[in-house]
């Protein structure tokens, strides 16, 4: 039973045996369906849509006010402090690239990160250091502490929860450690915020980034929220209209003077995504109304059911970053309960084949590959990738049970189709399923794309 109404929760998909089944979306960690309240809000604001920050017409005034009001609501949702600034971006990747242009010193990261929280930091002039995670959380925190004691860092960039295993990082503990060494903390909230409430003010973290499409608002907006000073003077992320106060040319081609705006305008050159911002703000309002305890209970019980079901199957192994650390709770370490993201392998069966089978024969959507976290997958010895199932507010006990039953059938050899590898992607040798989808769709994608099966 969904915690909140979602668009498309009853979508039927064709199966190999000629029947149809309600799609069970266990790939919400990649992108989540829209909340009904978000879709309703978009429909409500569309008639009022006009230029933002650029027009004197009534609708422009409405749209500009809506954009700025959305900014406030988004900031409030993540506990922005009074002097924090909220920059509307496209997604988490965009936010990290933006912040990378503003960091006035070295950056420290762990190798457990998504590429979005690794690669942009290589653009920071002062450089980045990557510390390998250890096989316990306590050991990993100690490795961070050693590195912070060894060298001066401006920023520690850390995920709130792993997009591979769902294991959460005790953000408060990292903040205390980093601040003691004069470093700020950026939290990659792409996964964490879709599963759990988070507050900058309460955690004392300095920055957080997140994506609307993972937060049930797939309308192209994300956000970076945090301390204003670096953002006010850093490299303008998108040079263009709206980002400057004044620009002049001499009679030649040289731009002789540019006076950049402070944040957020400094980083939001070009026409803003007012619909995306309004959608993200609506998601923040709706999710903010969900009691933290209810959300945690829903996730924890489904995750537990999934992990128990999968580990009981022969040849199935659930991937973990860290050994279970019950002792942390007694030694003062902050317990960090995992979010609803579970990655597993099936002995002797390629992850892509598992995912193709679960889709074609059980109507299940899961993710396979290396989850844009290749350094981590390499360290864990999973160069061939793995399968990831993720739980969201729309996931039910029946969805979880369907996945466990599907993997059990696969392990027991109850397979109807013949699966072949075509251009690196597992697919049915013969696919008799009719094409269903929105009007005008002419075919299904025949590749998992650049973040898919092969990487």
Ligand X SMILES: Cc1ncc(COP(=O)(O)O)c(C=O)c1O
Interface residues with ligand X (CB under 6 A) are 30, 91-93, 114, 116-117, 159, 163, 188, 190-191, 211, 213
Q: Which tokens in the block code for residue 170?
A: 């005790």
Query: Nearest 5°: phi and psi at 446?
Result: -105, 10
Helix (H, G, I), strand (E, B) or coil at 194: helix
- Cα separation, 372 vs 442, in Å, equals 29
Query: Of the candidates 359, 332, 367, which has an alpha carbon nearest to the alpha carbon of residue 417?
Result: 359
Write down the least CB distance from residue 263 to ligand X, Å.
Answer: 20
Only one residue has tokens 């039953």, namely: 405
Burial class (CB in 10 A: 0-12, 13-18, 19+), 207: buried
- Judged by CB, which is closer to ligand X: 91, or 203? 91
State which residue has the least CB distance to ligand X.
163
- Judged by CB, which is closer to ligand X: 73, or 211? 211
Catalytic hit among 102, 284, 372, 451: 372
- Judged by CB, which is closer to ligand X: 37, or 191? 191
102 is catalytic: no
Query: Nearest 5°: phi and psi at 138?
Result: -60, -40
Estimate to the nearest angstrom the gap between the alpha carbon of 373 and the chain centroid: 12
- Judged by CB, which is closer to ligand X: 191, or 285? 191
Write down the least CB distance from residue 111 to ligand X, Å.
Answer: 13
- Cα separation, 389 vs 410, in Å, equals 16
- Cα separation, 391 vs 29, in Å, equals 8
Write down the least CB distance from residue 103 to ligand X, Å.
Answer: 17
Write down the least CB distance from residue 268 to ligand X, Å.
Answer: 17
Write down the least CB distance from residue 150 to ligand X, Å.
Answer: 26
- Judged by CB, which is closer to ligand X: 205, or 360? 205
Q: What count of other Cβ atoms lies within 10 Å of the Cβ of residue 436?
A: 12
Q: Which tokens in the block code for residue 36?
A: 């009904």
Query: Of the candidates 237, 306, 238, which has an alpha carbon nearest to the alpha carbon of residue 99?
Result: 237
What residues are annotated to the active site? 372
């Amino acid at each position: 039973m969904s915690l909140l109404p979602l668009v498309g929760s009853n979508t039927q998909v064709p199966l190999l045996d000629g029947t149809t089944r309600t799609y069970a979306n266990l790939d919400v960690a990649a992108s989540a369906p829209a909340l009904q309240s978000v879709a309703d809000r978009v429909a409500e604001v569309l008639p009022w849509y006009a230029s933002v920050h650029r027009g004197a017409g009534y609708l422009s005034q409405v749209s500009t006010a809506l954009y700025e009001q959305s900014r406030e609501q988004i900031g409030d949702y993540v506990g922005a402090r009074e002097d924090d600034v909220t920059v509307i971006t496209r997604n988490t990747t965009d936010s990290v690239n933006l912040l990378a242009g503003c960091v006035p010193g070295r950056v420290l990261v762990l190798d457990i990160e998504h590429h979005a929280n690794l690669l942009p930091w290589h653009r920071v002039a002062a450089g980045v250091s990557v510390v390998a995670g250890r096989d316990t959380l306590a050991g990993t925190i100690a490795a961070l502490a050693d590195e912070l004691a060894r060298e001066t860092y401006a920023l520690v960039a850390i995920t709130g929860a792993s997009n591979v295993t769902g294991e959460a990082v005790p953000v408060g503990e990292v903040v205390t450690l980093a601040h003691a060494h004069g470093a700020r903390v950026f939290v990659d909230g792409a996964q964490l915020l879709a599963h759990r409430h988070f507050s900058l003010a309460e955690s004392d973290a300095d920055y957080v980034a997140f994506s609307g499409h993972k937060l049930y608002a797939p309308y192209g907006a994300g956000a970076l929220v945090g301390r204003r000073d670096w953002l006010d003077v850093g490299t303008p992320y998108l040079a263009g209209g709206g980002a400057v106060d004044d620009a002049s040319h001499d009679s030649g081609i040289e731009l002789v003077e540019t006076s950049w705006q402070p944040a957020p305008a400094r980083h939001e050159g070009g026409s803003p995504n007012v619909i995306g911002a309004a959608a993200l703000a609506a998601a923040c309002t709706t999710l903010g109304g969900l009691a933290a305890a209810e959300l945690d209970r829903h996730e924890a019980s489904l995750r537990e059911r999934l992990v128990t079901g999968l580990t009981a199957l022969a040849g199935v192994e659930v991937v973990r970053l860290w050994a279970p650390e019950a002792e942390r709770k007694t030694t003062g370490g902050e317990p960090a309960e995992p979010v609803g993201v579970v990655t597993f392998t099936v002995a002797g069966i390629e992850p892509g084949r598992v995912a193709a089978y679960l889709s074609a024969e059980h109507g299940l959507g899961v993710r396979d590959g290396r989850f844009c976290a290749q350094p981590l997958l390499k360290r864990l010895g999973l160069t061939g990738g793995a399968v990831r199932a993720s739980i969201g507010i729309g996931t039910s006990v029946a969805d979880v049970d369907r996945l466990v039953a599907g993997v059990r059938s696969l392990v027991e050899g109850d397979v109807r189709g013949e699966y072949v590898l075509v251009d690196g992607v597992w697919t049915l040798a013969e696919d008799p399923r009719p094409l269903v989808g929105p009007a005008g769709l002419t075919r299904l994608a025949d590749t998992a794309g650049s973040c898919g099966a092969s990487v």
